[in-house]
Amino acid sequence: MELKRVVVTGLGALTPLGNDVATTWENAVKGVSGAGPITHFDSSKFKTQFACEVKGFDPAQHFDRKKARQLDLYAMYALVAAGEAIADAGLESEGVDKNRVGVVFAAGIGGLHTFEEEAGYYATHGEEQGPKYNPFFIPKMIADIAAGHISIEYGFRGPNFATVSACASSNNALIDAFNYVRLGMADAIVTGGAEAAVFPAGVGGFNSMKALSTRNDDPQGASRPFSGSRDGFVIGEGAAALVLEELEHAKARGAHIYCEIVGGGMSADAYHITATHPEGLGAKLVMENALRDAGMKPEEIDYINLHGTSTPVGDIGEVKAIKEVFGDHAYKVNLSSTKSMTGHLLGAAGALEAIMGVKAITDGIIPPTINHEEGDNDPEIDYNLNFTFNEAQKRDVKTVLSNTFGFGGHNAAVILKKYEG
């Protein structure tokens, strides 16, 4: 069976750097940090009191009151980002067979805030009042519901489901969408991820694991991947969406083509429930698998958007893996972690970083890894590699590899390529 070619025809984003793709990308290129004091709740008693939140988001601008009551914040974010991508791709235009358009949308956690509110109410009032749960509790909370809402909103009746693999979730969504389209099971799929976990359970839970930075006196400088003084990731929130479409279908309707998606790889660390393998064995395998799927050699990659969360152990393992996979070419590739600016969007991270890769290809610019200070080095990291520290770099980018690694040892990587007909 001949596999079909798959292209990206739509982009959408709602992020700590901006409430659309254009603003997000502009601020990423400028090296703007999206971090600041937490506003979603009183974090004064928490070890970490800052996050990368979405700013200026008003649900009333997007949803009527009845609809808003049915949606957790993560699903709101998903619908807004997906709406931008769908409009960008023109997927609602006449002639698109909605039976052949699917939605594969990820969340690492899903409706955490809804669960927190409902469980908290029962813990406080349950003994005297008995169980009084909101009838929307379950459908607001579950991790697949964003995919369902997008399908319902636009009448897309193709494959419809969610992927959940912690911080690899939306890269897994992209890979599944890619496979369904190239196998001919759909003409187009709206894919991506959303997360809204900047609430007490999310911040407190990650704090208890010592996973988050506690640099409360310098939130904007806290996410510092590959620097010696890094002390954990900065939790972020938001959503990112891409429309993946079969090439001939896109051409037939005159869709704008951003780039091509040519490969996806998956692997498992099989090591620890939260820590990545210290030697980067799973990371090495997932990049090799992605390259093999794309039919590419390591020296064909121009830019790697790193998982690079700013954790002490994880950053080291990824660097080791890159050096093993790419050999001498590792020193010719641009590397960067855009999480230094966006924070870690958990289940939405892969989709957002794929958009960064798409824009790097179309604009010929590598977004930076910010917050690295001269001399702030880790002896286990090779600084002869080009981490694109602090300033964006112009480069003719033809190919991008984007890595994501999740709790449980889940690894997923995608490869994007400039579309050349």
pLDDT for position 254:
96
pLDDT at residue 124 is higher than 90: no
Overall average pLDDT of the 332-346 stretch:
98
Confidence at 349, pLDDT banded by 50, 70, 90: very high
Higher pLDDT, 132 or 212: 212
Catalytic residues: 167, 307, 344
Backbone phi, psi, residue 281, to 5° = -65, -45
pLDDT for position 49:
98
pLDDT for position 95:
86
pLDDT tens digit sequence for 175-221: 999 999 999 999 999 999 999 999 999 999 999 999 999 999 999 99
pLDDT tens digit sequence for 264-309: 999 999 999 988 888 899 999 999 999 999 999 999 999 999 999 9
HEC readout, the chain = CCCCCEEEEEEEEEECCECCHHHHHHHHHHCCCCCEECCCCCCCCCCCCEEECCCCCCHHHCCCHHHHHCCCHHHHHHHHHHHHHHHHHCCCCCCCCHHHEEEEEECCCCCHHHHHHHHHHHHHHHHHHCCCCCCCHHHHHCCCHHHHHHHHHHCCCCCEECCCECECHHHHHHHHHHHHHHCCCCCEEEEEEEECCCCHHHHHHHHHCCCECCCCCCHHHCCCCCCCCCCCECEECEEEEEEEEEHHHHHHCCCCCCEEEEEEEEEECCCCCCCCCCCCHHHHHHHHHHHHHHCCCHHHCCEEECCCCCCHHHHHHHHHHHHHHHHHHHHCCEEECCHHHHCECHHHHHHHHHHHHHHHHHHCEECCECCCCCCCCCCCCCCCCECCECCCEECCCCEEEEEEEECCCEEEEEEEECCCC
> What's the burial of 110, exposed, middle or buried (CB within 10 Å: 0-12/13-18/19+)?
buried
% of the chain beyond a pLDDT of 70:
100
Residue 102 pairs with which residues in a beta bridge? 189
Confidence at 132, pLDDT banded by 50, 70, 90: confident
pLDDT for position 39:
98
pLDDT for position 241:
99
Q: How many whole angstroms separate alpha carbon 33 and alpha carbon 50?
A: 12
pLDDT tens digit sequence for 63-103: 999 999 999 999 999 999 999 999 999 999 888 999 999 99
pLDDT for position 120:
85
pLDDT for position 93:
86
pLDDT at residue 130 is higher than 90: no
Cβ burial 14-47 (10 Å sphere, 16+ → b, else e): bbbbbbbbeebbebbbebbbbbeebebeebeebb
Overall average pLDDT of the 110-131 stretch:
85
Lowest mean pLDDT among 122-136, 142-156, 182-196: 122-136
Token representation of residue 286? 């997932």
Mean pLDDT of the chain: 96
pLDDT tens digit sequence for 2-38: 999 999 999 999 999 999 999 999 999 999 999 999 9
- Model-wide pTM > 0.85: yes
pLDDT for position 12:
98
Token representation of residue 64? 């009527």
Confidence at 133, pLDDT banded by 50, 70, 90: confident
Q: How many whole angstroms separate alpha carbon 86 and alpha carbon 114?
A: 27
- Residue 246: C-alpha distances to residues 83, 85, 183 (Å): 20, 16, 10
pLDDT at residue 259 is higher than 80: yes
